[in-house]
Amino acid sequence: MVQIPFYRASIDSREEELIKECLNNANSQMVSTLERDICDFFGSKFAVTSTNGTTAMHLALCAMNIKRGDKIICSVNSYPNVVEVIRHFDAEPILVDIDADSFNISVAEFEKTLEIHKHKKLKAAFISHVAGFPAQMDEIYALAKKWDIKIIDDARRAMGAKYKGKLIGAMDSFISCFQMNPQAKNAVATVGFFITNDAEIERRAKIIRNNALKANSDLDYIYDVEEIGEKCDLNAIAAAYGVAQLEKTPSFIARRKKIAQIYRKELANCPHITLPKHDENHIYTQFIIKIDKNRDDFARKLQEFGIKTALHYIPIHLLSYYKRKYGYKVNDFPNALKNYSQVLSIPMYAALSDDEAHYVCDKIKEIAKNRV
């Protein structure tokens, strides 16, 4: 039977070449090479690499010196790592409902939330760009300026995405966080990083990520520790993988857009299916459709045909920890709740062949045709 995983990495001789370079040269400085390449790609002053997207976000908040009781706004429709990095500081995530079509944070709800939670402890907002579709950044930046908060991009699924001709990460955000490989489980390699133009943030982050060790002399083994650190610096082999993958980012985007064209053409008139909002800025790191009823049964039938799917995302307020901690009610975020009952992410990645994409479409249409 045909087996189509939800994600498959695109790897060729370039990754092998760079990894061999690391194995054969202990002084390859591949992490520094990757950080320079990232700065060149985005036009940023500084890049700080880490082991994955979650540690990159956590490291960013460490460098910002987030403290207990500080408040950070984020979308209720985000991966749990966004709120968990906030809670690790005993800070408070302030959830906001979404725009039902883009799946991103609702600007109107964002503004209401800023008005309700105006306080000196309101420090920042994580802005998620779901599935590679940029949020409405002009309006978001204007509100952030008005209320004097910093914007942190949760752009783990938006590397290479542009908003009005500018790369996410090359705009006015204080920090932008990314992850190169979207595969959460059994990944070949993962690379997280954030970019910033703030020299102090970069300095602090690079100290913290290596157990906060500071050299105290010209001898490497003489060190001091002035604050709490962690260990999340990137190794050379993962960095080599990252260098190769970063080089391919434009081709990955182009390929995903071609797959999206296949999906849109083939599923245009499919009953029970709603396609994602079309926009020239969408880079389709995920292709999220809506099933008008019984989404989980639909997913099980796709799985019977060898097609793996995923869900982006279960709203944060429905997760047990946050429901208990903050007393959220099911209907607190109606747009996110309605989307959650319908959304389903189908395979979308550069290594997906045209034949596989057509197979996915054929099976979706077959299942949809037989639904009551």
For 162-190, the pLDDT digits (tens) are: 999 999 999 999 999 999 976 667 788 89
For 318-338, the pLDDT digits (tens) are: 999 999 999 999 999 999 999
Q: Is the dihedral of CA 165, 287, 195, 25 positive or negative?
A: negative
Give me the helices (H) in the chain, please: 13-24, 30-42, 53-63, 80-87, 107-116, 137-147, 199-208, 236-247, 249-266, 295-304, 320-326, 334-340, 354-369
Q: Which of 215 and 231 is assigned the larger pLDDT?
A: 231
For 218-274, the pLDDT digits (tens) are: 887 899 998 899 999 999 999 999 999 999 999 999 999 999 999 999 999 999 999
| Residue showing tokens 């970063």 | 246
C-alpha span between 236 and 369 (Å, rounded): 50
For 25-67, the pLDDT digits (tens) are: 988 899 999 999 999 999 999 999 999 999 999 999 999 999 9
Evaluate if residue 5 carries a pLDDT over 70: yes
| Residue showing tokens 């005993």 | 90
**Claim: this prediction has a pTM higher than 0.85:** yes
| Averaged pLDDT for residues 134-140 | 98
pLDDT value at residue 188: 86
DSSP state, 235?
P
Strands 162-163 and 273-274: unpaired
Residue 212's pLDDT band (boundaries 50, 70, 90)?
very high
pLDDT value at residue 184: 65
CA 139 to chain centre: 21
Domains detected in the chain: 13-247 (3.40.640.10), 249-369 (3.90.1150.10)
Percent of the chain beyond pLDDT 90?
Answer: 91
Evaluate if residue 107 carries a pLDDT over 70: yes
C-alpha span between 72 and 74 (Å, rounded): 7
3-class secondary structure, 347 = coil
Evaluate if residue 372 carries a pLDDT over 60: no
C-alpha span between 140 and 157 (Å, rounded): 19
C-alpha span between 125 and 143 (Å, rounded): 11
